[in-house]
Structure 1
Protein backbone atom coordinates (compact mmCIF):
# COMPACT_ATOMS: atom_id res chain seq x y z
CA UNK A 1 0.00 0.00 0.00
CA UNK A 2 1.12 3.53 -0.77
CA UNK A 3 0.46 6.61 1.37
CA UNK A 4 -0.38 10.17 0.31
CA UNK A 5 0.15 12.95 2.84
CA UNK A 6 -1.11 16.54 2.48
CA UNK A 7 0.53 19.28 4.55
CA UNK A 8 -2.08 21.84 5.67
CA UNK A 9 -4.27 21.72 2.54
CA UNK A 10 -6.29 24.89 2.00
CA UNK A 11 -8.84 24.31 -0.79
CA UNK A 12 -11.72 21.87 -0.10
CA UNK A 13 -12.25 20.58 -3.68
CA UNK A 14 -8.55 19.70 -3.97
CA UNK A 15 -8.62 17.59 -0.82
CA UNK A 16 -11.93 16.05 -1.89
CA UNK A 17 -10.48 15.02 -5.24
CA UNK A 18 -7.35 13.60 -3.62
CA UNK A 19 -9.58 11.64 -1.22
CA UNK A 20 -11.52 10.20 -4.17
CA UNK A 21 -8.24 9.26 -5.84
CA UNK A 22 -7.09 7.48 -2.67
CA UNK A 23 -10.40 5.63 -2.37
CA UNK A 24 -10.07 4.41 -5.97
CA UNK A 25 -6.51 3.16 -5.50
CA UNK A 26 -6.52 1.81 -1.94
CA UNK A 27 -4.06 4.48 -0.83
CA UNK A 28 -3.99 5.73 2.76
CA UNK A 29 -4.53 9.51 3.01
CA UNK A 30 -2.85 11.53 5.77
CA UNK A 31 -3.99 15.09 6.57
CA UNK A 32 -1.35 17.00 8.53
CA UNK A 33 -1.54 20.21 10.54
CA UNK A 34 -4.03 23.07 10.36
CA UNK A 35 -6.65 22.64 7.66
CA UNK A 36 -7.99 25.59 5.69
CA UNK A 37 -11.55 24.23 5.83
CA UNK A 38 -13.96 22.08 7.80
CA UNK A 39 -14.19 18.47 6.70
CA UNK A 40 -17.97 18.80 6.47
CA UNK A 41 -17.62 21.78 4.14
CA UNK A 42 -20.18 21.78 1.30
CA UNK A 43 -17.45 22.17 -1.33
CA UNK A 44 -15.57 19.16 0.00
CA UNK A 45 -18.77 17.12 -0.10
CA UNK A 46 -19.32 18.04 -3.75
CA UNK A 47 -15.71 17.18 -4.59
CA UNK A 48 -15.76 13.71 -3.15
CA UNK A 49 -17.20 13.37 0.33
CA UNK A 50 -19.72 10.84 -1.06
CA UNK A 51 -16.76 8.43 -1.09
CA UNK A 52 -15.43 9.43 2.35
CA UNK A 53 -16.57 6.14 3.90
CA UNK A 54 -14.29 4.34 1.41
CA UNK A 55 -11.20 6.45 2.18
CA UNK A 56 -8.52 5.12 4.53
CA UNK A 57 -7.86 8.55 6.06
CA UNK A 58 -5.99 9.55 9.22
CA UNK A 59 -5.44 12.95 10.81
CA UNK A 60 -2.24 14.28 12.41
CA UNK A 61 -2.33 17.45 14.50
CA UNK A 62 1.36 18.26 13.90
CA UNK A 63 4.08 17.19 11.50
CA UNK A 64 5.87 15.59 14.45
CA UNK A 65 2.77 13.42 15.09
CA UNK A 66 2.87 12.36 11.44
CA UNK A 67 6.57 11.47 11.63
CA UNK A 68 6.06 9.52 14.82
CA UNK A 69 3.10 7.57 13.47
CA UNK A 70 4.97 6.65 10.29
CA UNK A 71 8.13 5.61 12.11
CA UNK A 72 6.21 3.45 14.59
CA UNK A 73 5.22 1.12 11.81
CA UNK A 74 1.99 -0.83 11.33
CA UNK A 75 -0.11 0.73 14.12
CA UNK A 76 -2.08 3.60 12.50
CA UNK A 77 -3.04 6.81 14.27
CA UNK A 78 -6.62 7.51 15.30
CA UNK A 79 -8.82 7.63 12.15
CA UNK A 80 -11.16 10.45 11.28
CA UNK A 81 -14.88 9.94 11.85
CA UNK A 82 -16.51 8.75 8.65
CA UNK A 83 -13.38 7.04 7.37
CA UNK A 84 -13.27 3.47 6.14
CA UNK A 85 -15.36 1.07 8.21
CA UNK A 86 -18.18 3.53 8.98
CA UNK A 87 -21.44 3.26 7.06
CA UNK A 88 -22.20 6.95 6.85
CA UNK A 89 -19.76 9.89 6.65
CA UNK A 90 -20.07 12.05 9.76
CA UNK A 91 -18.98 15.67 10.08
CA UNK A 92 -15.51 16.22 11.51
CA UNK A 93 -14.46 19.53 13.08
CA UNK A 94 -11.68 21.57 11.58
CA UNK A 95 -8.45 21.81 13.48
CA UNK A 96 -9.40 25.33 14.46
CA UNK A 97 -12.55 24.10 16.18
CA UNK A 98 -11.41 20.75 17.51
CA UNK A 99 -7.70 20.91 18.14
CA UNK A 100 -8.08 19.96 21.79
CA UNK A 101 -10.15 16.89 20.90
CA UNK A 102 -7.62 15.84 18.30
CA UNK A 103 -4.73 16.29 20.70
CA UNK A 104 -6.63 14.24 23.29
CA UNK A 105 -7.09 11.46 20.75
CA UNK A 106 -3.39 11.44 19.94
CA UNK A 107 -2.51 11.51 23.64
CA UNK A 108 -4.87 8.59 24.28
CA UNK A 109 -3.28 6.55 21.53
CA UNK A 110 0.20 7.29 22.82
CA UNK A 111 -0.85 6.30 26.34
CA UNK A 112 -2.20 2.97 25.10
CA UNK A 113 1.05 2.29 23.27
CA UNK A 114 3.36 3.41 26.07
CA UNK A 115 4.71 -0.11 26.55
CA UNK A 116 5.70 -0.47 22.91
CA UNK A 117 9.29 0.32 21.87
CA UNK A 118 9.29 3.58 19.91
CA UNK A 119 11.40 4.04 16.81
CA UNK A 120 13.48 7.24 16.99
CA UNK A 121 12.11 10.30 15.24
CA UNK A 122 13.70 11.82 12.17
CA UNK A 123 15.87 14.17 14.13
CA UNK A 124 17.04 11.29 16.27
CA UNK A 125 18.17 9.03 13.43
CA UNK A 126 14.96 7.67 11.94
CA UNK A 127 14.30 8.08 8.20
CA UNK A 128 15.71 11.57 7.82
CA UNK A 129 18.71 12.75 5.83
CA UNK A 130 21.02 11.03 8.31
CA UNK A 131 19.62 7.65 7.24
CA UNK A 132 21.04 6.96 3.73
CA UNK A 133 18.49 4.27 2.92
CA UNK A 134 15.63 6.61 3.87
CA UNK A 135 13.82 3.77 5.63
CA UNK A 136 12.18 3.18 8.97
CA UNK A 137 10.33 -0.10 9.39
CA UNK A 138 10.32 -0.41 5.59
CA UNK A 139 8.61 2.95 4.99
CA UNK A 140 10.01 5.89 3.05
CA UNK A 141 8.96 9.47 2.47
CA UNK A 142 9.14 11.33 -0.86
CA UNK A 143 8.55 15.10 -0.87
CA UNK A 144 6.91 16.25 -4.10
CA UNK A 145 7.69 19.93 -4.47
CA UNK A 146 8.43 22.70 -6.96
CA UNK A 147 11.16 23.48 -7.71
CA UNK A 148 13.15 20.28 -7.39
CA UNK A 149 16.28 19.22 -9.26
CA UNK A 150 15.19 15.57 -9.38
CA UNK A 151 12.10 14.52 -11.36
CA UNK A 152 9.60 12.15 -9.78
CA UNK A 153 10.36 9.72 -12.64
CA UNK A 154 13.83 9.22 -11.10
CA UNK A 155 12.48 8.14 -7.72
CA UNK A 156 12.69 4.46 -6.83
CA UNK A 157 9.19 3.99 -5.45
CA UNK A 158 8.53 0.95 -3.27
CA UNK A 159 5.51 -0.55 -1.58
CA UNK A 160 4.77 1.35 1.65
CA UNK A 161 6.26 4.65 0.44
CA UNK A 162 4.61 7.94 1.38
CA UNK A 163 4.18 10.82 -1.09
CA UNK A 164 4.12 14.14 0.76
CA UNK A 165 2.64 17.26 -0.88
CA UNK A 166 2.65 20.84 0.39
CA UNK A 167 -0.30 23.21 0.47
CA UNK A 168 -1.60 25.24 -2.43
CA UNK A 169 -0.16 28.66 -1.55
CA UNK A 170 3.31 27.94 -0.15
CA UNK A 171 4.13 24.26 -0.59
CA UNK A 172 6.12 22.47 2.09
CA UNK A 173 7.88 24.35 4.92
CA UNK A 174 11.59 25.06 4.24
CA UNK A 175 12.55 22.95 7.27
CA UNK A 176 10.83 19.89 5.78
CA UNK A 177 12.38 20.43 2.35
CA UNK A 178 15.82 20.72 3.91
CA UNK A 179 15.41 17.69 6.16
CA UNK A 180 14.27 15.48 3.29
CA UNK A 181 16.49 17.04 0.61
CA UNK A 182 17.72 13.62 -0.50
CA UNK A 183 14.16 12.60 -1.34
CA UNK A 184 12.84 15.83 -2.84
CA UNK A 185 11.31 15.29 -6.29
CA UNK A 186 9.27 17.44 -8.65
CA UNK A 187 7.06 17.30 -11.73
CA UNK A 188 8.67 18.85 -14.85
CA UNK A 189 6.80 21.83 -16.31
CA UNK A 190 8.04 22.45 -19.82
CA UNK A 191 6.96 26.01 -20.57
CA UNK A 192 7.70 27.78 -17.30
CA UNK A 193 4.42 29.67 -17.77
CA UNK A 194 2.97 28.57 -14.42
CA UNK A 195 4.40 28.39 -10.91
CA UNK A 196 2.94 24.99 -10.04
CA UNK A 197 0.28 22.44 -10.93
CA UNK A 198 -3.04 22.00 -9.16
CA UNK A 199 -2.56 19.91 -6.00
CA UNK A 200 -5.00 17.14 -6.98
CA UNK A 201 -3.47 16.99 -10.47
CA UNK A 202 0.03 16.66 -9.02
CA UNK A 203 -1.06 13.87 -6.66
CA UNK A 204 -2.70 11.98 -9.53
CA UNK A 205 0.39 12.21 -11.74
CA UNK A 206 2.86 10.93 -9.16
CA UNK A 207 0.60 8.39 -7.44
CA UNK A 208 -0.44 6.66 -10.64
CA UNK A 209 3.11 6.52 -11.93
CA UNK A 210 4.22 4.92 -8.65
CA UNK A 211 1.34 2.42 -8.87
CA UNK A 212 2.13 1.67 -12.51
CA UNK A 213 5.68 0.75 -11.60
CA UNK A 214 4.73 -1.25 -8.51
CA UNK A 215 2.07 -3.27 -10.36
CA UNK A 216 3.93 -3.42 -13.69
CA UNK A 217 1.02 -1.92 -15.63
Structure 2
Protein backbone atom coordinates (compact mmCIF):
# COMPACT_ATOMS: atom_id res chain seq x y z
CA UNK A 1 0.00 0.00 0.00
CA UNK A 2 1.20 3.50 -0.85
CA UNK A 3 0.24 7.10 -0.10
CA UNK A 4 0.45 9.45 -3.07
CA UNK A 5 0.46 13.23 -2.66
CA UNK A 6 -0.22 15.22 -5.82
CA UNK A 7 1.31 18.71 -5.66
CA UNK A 8 1.48 18.99 -1.87
CA UNK A 9 1.99 22.55 -0.63
CA UNK A 10 2.51 22.42 3.12
CA UNK A 11 5.71 20.80 4.37
CA UNK A 12 4.32 19.99 7.82
CA UNK A 13 1.54 17.87 6.31
CA UNK A 14 3.97 15.94 4.14
CA UNK A 15 6.27 15.44 7.13
CA UNK A 16 3.43 14.10 9.27
CA UNK A 17 2.30 11.77 6.46
CA UNK A 18 5.90 10.62 6.05
CA UNK A 19 6.00 9.74 9.73
CA UNK A 20 2.81 7.68 9.32
CA UNK A 21 4.39 5.93 6.32
CA UNK A 22 7.42 4.98 8.43
CA UNK A 23 5.17 3.69 11.22
CA UNK A 24 3.23 1.49 8.79
CA UNK A 25 6.13 0.62 6.46
CA UNK A 26 4.50 2.30 3.46
CA UNK A 27 5.95 4.11 0.48
CA UNK A 28 5.30 7.85 0.16
CA UNK A 29 4.98 8.98 -3.45
CA UNK A 30 5.26 12.70 -4.22
CA UNK A 31 4.01 14.15 -7.51
CA UNK A 32 5.64 17.46 -8.45
CA UNK A 33 5.53 20.36 -8.34
CA UNK A 34 6.00 20.49 -4.58
CA UNK A 35 5.35 23.67 -2.63
CA UNK A 36 8.59 23.13 -0.70
CA UNK A 37 11.87 21.24 -0.82
CA UNK A 38 11.87 17.81 0.79
CA UNK A 39 15.20 18.85 2.27
CA UNK A 40 13.37 21.68 4.03
CA UNK A 41 13.86 21.56 7.78
CA UNK A 42 10.11 22.09 8.30
CA UNK A 43 9.37 18.77 6.53
CA UNK A 44 11.94 17.01 8.66
CA UNK A 45 10.64 18.72 11.80
CA UNK A 46 7.11 17.42 11.20
CA UNK A 47 8.49 13.92 10.60
CA UNK A 48 10.83 14.41 13.56
CA UNK A 49 13.65 11.93 13.76
CA UNK A 50 11.82 9.52 11.42
CA UNK A 51 12.12 11.56 8.22
CA UNK A 52 15.38 9.86 7.25
CA UNK A 53 13.52 6.53 7.20
CA UNK A 54 10.72 7.60 4.86
CA UNK A 55 10.65 5.51 1.67
CA UNK A 56 10.06 8.34 -0.84
CA UNK A 57 9.56 8.21 -4.59
CA UNK A 58 9.09 11.36 -6.66
CA UNK A 59 7.64 11.93 -10.10
CA UNK A 60 7.78 15.01 -12.30
CA UNK A 61 4.02 15.05 -12.86
CA UNK A 62 0.93 12.83 -12.90
CA UNK A 63 1.68 11.43 -16.37
CA UNK A 64 5.21 10.49 -15.33
CA UNK A 65 3.76 8.64 -12.33
CA UNK A 66 1.08 6.82 -14.38
CA UNK A 67 3.46 5.91 -17.22
CA UNK A 68 6.22 4.72 -14.90
CA UNK A 69 4.24 2.92 -12.19
CA UNK A 70 1.31 1.76 -14.34
CA UNK A 71 -1.05 1.25 -11.38
CA UNK A 72 -4.02 -0.98 -12.20
CA UNK A 73 -7.33 0.89 -12.03
CA UNK A 74 -8.56 -1.31 -9.17
CA UNK A 75 -5.59 -0.18 -7.06
CA UNK A 76 -6.32 3.56 -7.50
CA UNK A 77 -8.21 5.33 -4.72
CA UNK A 78 -8.70 9.06 -5.19
CA UNK A 79 -9.80 11.02 -2.12
CA UNK A 80 -11.96 14.13 -2.56
CA UNK A 81 -14.94 15.60 -0.76
CA UNK A 82 -16.96 15.16 -3.98
CA UNK A 83 -16.63 11.38 -3.79
CA UNK A 84 -19.98 9.60 -3.92
CA UNK A 85 -18.63 6.53 -2.11
CA UNK A 86 -17.50 6.55 1.49
CA UNK A 87 -13.95 5.52 2.24
CA UNK A 88 -15.54 2.90 4.52
CA UNK A 89 -16.95 1.15 1.44
CA UNK A 90 -13.85 1.28 -0.77
CA UNK A 91 -12.59 -2.13 -1.99
CA UNK A 92 -8.98 -1.61 -0.90
CA UNK A 93 -6.29 -3.98 -2.13
CA UNK A 94 -2.90 -4.80 -0.64
CA UNK A 95 -1.38 -2.76 -3.48
CA UNK A 96 -3.66 0.28 -3.12
CA UNK A 97 -2.46 3.73 -4.13
CA UNK A 98 -4.22 6.16 -1.76
CA UNK A 99 -4.09 9.44 -3.70
CA UNK A 100 -4.58 12.92 -2.24
CA UNK A 101 -4.41 16.36 -3.83
CA UNK A 102 -2.92 19.62 -2.66
CA UNK A 103 -4.15 21.40 0.43
CA UNK A 104 -5.64 24.39 -1.41
CA UNK A 105 -7.13 22.84 -4.55
CA UNK A 106 -7.40 19.09 -4.02
CA UNK A 107 -6.89 16.75 -6.94
CA UNK A 108 -6.83 18.28 -10.43
CA UNK A 109 -10.05 17.87 -12.44
CA UNK A 110 -8.29 16.00 -15.25
CA UNK A 111 -7.14 13.31 -12.79
CA UNK A 112 -10.63 13.00 -11.31
CA UNK A 113 -12.17 12.79 -14.81
CA UNK A 114 -9.92 9.83 -15.75
CA UNK A 115 -11.49 7.52 -13.17
CA UNK A 116 -14.67 9.03 -11.69
CA UNK A 117 -15.67 5.66 -10.21
CA UNK A 118 -12.49 5.65 -8.08
CA UNK A 119 -13.27 8.81 -6.07
CA UNK A 120 -13.92 8.30 -2.36
CA UNK A 121 -14.82 10.68 0.44
CA UNK A 122 -14.21 10.73 4.16
CA UNK A 123 -17.61 11.27 5.75
CA UNK A 124 -18.21 14.46 7.72
CA UNK A 125 -21.37 15.16 9.68
CA UNK A 126 -21.14 18.95 9.78
CA UNK A 127 -21.53 20.71 6.42
CA UNK A 128 -19.63 23.74 7.74
CA UNK A 129 -16.40 21.77 7.19
CA UNK A 130 -15.49 21.46 3.50
CA UNK A 131 -12.48 19.20 3.96
CA UNK A 132 -10.11 17.75 6.54
CA UNK A 133 -6.44 18.54 7.05
CA UNK A 134 -4.42 16.57 4.50
CA UNK A 135 -2.32 14.66 7.03
CA UNK A 136 -5.41 13.77 9.08
CA UNK A 137 -7.30 12.58 6.00
CA UNK A 138 -4.38 10.50 4.74
CA UNK A 139 -3.86 8.89 8.14
CA UNK A 140 -7.56 8.08 8.54
CA UNK A 141 -7.75 6.61 5.03
CA UNK A 142 -4.66 4.47 5.33
CA UNK A 143 -5.75 2.99 8.65
CA UNK A 144 -9.19 2.20 7.18
CA UNK A 145 -7.54 0.62 4.11
CA UNK A 146 -5.17 -1.44 6.25
CA UNK A 147 -8.03 -2.71 8.38
CA UNK A 148 -8.75 -5.33 5.70
CA UNK A 149 -5.11 -6.26 5.13
CA UNK A 150 -3.40 -5.96 8.52
Provide TM-score, normalisation by structure 1.
0.67
Secondary structure, counterpart of 1:214 in structure 2: coil
1:163 to 98, 101, 104: 98
CA deviation digits over 1:45-70, x for unaligned, max 9?
21015212211110001111110222
**Structure 1 unpaired stretches of 5+:** 74-126, 128-133
CA deviation digits over 1:14-68, x for unaligned, max 9?
0000000001001111000200011122211210152122111100011111102
User: Which residue is 1:9 aligned to?
Assistant: 8
Q: What is the CA RMSD across the aligned residues, in angstroms?
A: 1.3
CA deviation digits over 1:85-119, x for unaligned, max 9?
xxxxxxxxxxxxxxxxxxxxxxxxxxxxxxxxxxx
CA deviation digits over 1:106-150, x for unaligned, max 9?
xxxxxxxxxxxxxxxxxxxxx4xxxxxx34xxxx11101112111
Structure 1: how far apart are the matches of 2:61 and 2:82?
24
- The question of 1:48 aligning with 2:33 is answered no
Which residues of 2 match residues 132-211 of structure 1 at below 5 A? 134-135=73-74, 140-211=75-146
- Give the length in aligned residue pairs: 150
**Structure 2 unpaired stretches of 5+:** none
Largest Rg, 1 or 2? 1
Normalized per residue, which structure has more strand? 2
Secondary structure, counterpart of 1:29 in structure 2: strand
Could you list the runs of 4 or more consecutive aligned residues of structure 1 that deviate by over 2 angstroms after TM superposition?
none
